């Protein structure tokens, strides 16, 4: 997952609204959004390392992870996806989990992690060093830098989410999927410089990345309600942005 905007405790019905794109090599094997048979997780699954990039539970927990874009950084360490699935399958609240993870965060590949329970939300990262902070109510964004780093595509998705909130929408998630499908790119002088070269920065600059080998694999919207009910919807894509399928799962109280 490489681009996320979310609203925490900012909607009368939904305590969490999250919209995100997972960008990955198309050759990396993964399973579609589903209920896992071996853990209380509803989410996609990375079939190479076994974790997830984004998932929820019927208890109202949610976790999402991104990498950190820095070609100079080592890629050694445990899989990032195990952070998200480990939190979702565990019993600790977001705050206790955050405090415990600080002790082992350096063991993982470069990551940004967001965790949510019924009451609290936390951001955790391990670059340049392990750190954690509680998330305040409102609209926030995350890509492959730090929490709320103002990359153009992150700011744009946050604006689109804020507009969705301002319009008083509740069950119409189409505008959020439209925002995740945005392929527009900012001028070169607004692009971040992460050490990958201008052409690659341009390729990665849109919310939706269309490529034959690498690109947006899934667009996902999560809505978790104050009443304990929620929904997660995943749209999947193949090489060159080809639409593959869409899956919707209800979670929480029946």
Q: What are the pLDDT digits (tens) for 36-68? A: 999 999 999 999 999 999 999 999 999 999 988
**Higher-confidence position of 146 and 242:** 242
Q: Distance between alpha carbon 126 and the CA centroid of its chain, in Å?
A: 16
Q: How far apart are CA 146 and CA 155, in angstroms?
A: 13
CB 147 within 8 A of CB 108: no
Q: Is the pLDDT of residue 233 over 80?
A: yes
* Residue in the block written with tokens 């940004």: 112
Looking at residue 254, its pLDDT comes to 55
Looking at residue 72, its pLDDT comes to 72
Q: Confidence class of residue 74 from pLDDT cuts 50, 70 and 90?
A: low
Q: What percent of the chain is predicted at pLDDT more than 70?
A: 98
The answer to whether the pTM exceeds 0.85 is yes
Q: How far apart are CA 82 and CA 101, in angstroms?
A: 12
Q: How far apart are CA 75 and CA 81, in angstroms?
A: 14
The 8-class DSSP code of residue 183 comes to -
Write the burial class of residue 112 (CB in 10 Å: 0-12 exposed, 13-18 middle, 19+ buried): buried
CB count within 10 Å of CB 158 equals 23
Q: How far apart are CA 142 and CA 203, in angstroms?
A: 18
Q: Which domains does the chain have, with CATH numbers?
A: 3-252 (3.60.60.10)
What's the average model confidence in pLDDT over 96-103?
A: 95
User: How is residue 74 written in tokens?
Assistant: 């080592």
- Measured in Å, how far apart are the chain's first and last C-alpha atoms? 29
Q: How far apart are CA 49 and CA 31, in angstroms?
A: 12
Q: What is the pLDDT of residues 154-203, one digit of tens each?
A: 999 999 999 999 999 899 999 999 999 999 999 999 998 888 899 999 99
CA dihedral 116, 119, 124, 130 (to 10 degrees): -140
Looking at residue 144, its pLDDT comes to 85
CB 145 within 8 A of CB 125: no
List of residues 6+ apart from 91 with CB closer than 8 A: none
β-pairing, 62-67 vs 42-46, is unpaired
Q: How far apart are CA 160 and CA 178, in angstroms?
A: 9
């Amino acid at each position: 997952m490489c681009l996320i905007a979310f609203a925490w405790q900012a909607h009368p019905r939904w305590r969490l609204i999250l919209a995100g794109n997972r960008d990955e090599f198309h050759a990396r094997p993964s399973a579609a959004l589903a209920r896992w048979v071996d853990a209380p997780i509803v989410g996609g699954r990375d079939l190479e390392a076994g974790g997830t990039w984004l998932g929820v539970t019927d208890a109202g927990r949610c976790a999402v992870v991104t990498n950190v874009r820095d070609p100079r950084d080592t890629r050694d360490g445990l899989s990032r996806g195990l952070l998200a699935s480990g939190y979702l399958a565990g019993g600790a609240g977001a705050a206790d989990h955050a405090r415990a993870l600080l002790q082992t965060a350096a063991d993982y590949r470069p990551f940004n992690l967001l965790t949510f329970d019924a009451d609290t939300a936390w951001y955790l990262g391990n670059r340049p060093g392990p750190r954690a902070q509680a998330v305040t109510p409102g609209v926030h964004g995350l890509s492959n830098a730090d929490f709320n780093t103002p990359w153009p595509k992150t700011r744009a998705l946050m604006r689109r989410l804020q507009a969705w909130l301002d319009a008083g929408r509740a069950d119409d998630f189409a505008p959020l999927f439209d925002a995740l499908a945005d392929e527009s790119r900012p001028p070169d002088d607004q692009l971040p410089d992460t050490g990958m070269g201008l052409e690659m920065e341009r390729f990665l600059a849109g919310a939706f990345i269309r490529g034959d080998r690498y690109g947006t694999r899934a667009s996902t919207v999560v809505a978790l309600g104050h009443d304990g009910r929620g929904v997660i919807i995943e749209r999947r894509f193949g090489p060159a942005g080809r639409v593959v399928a869409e899956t919707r799962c209800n979670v929480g109280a029946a």
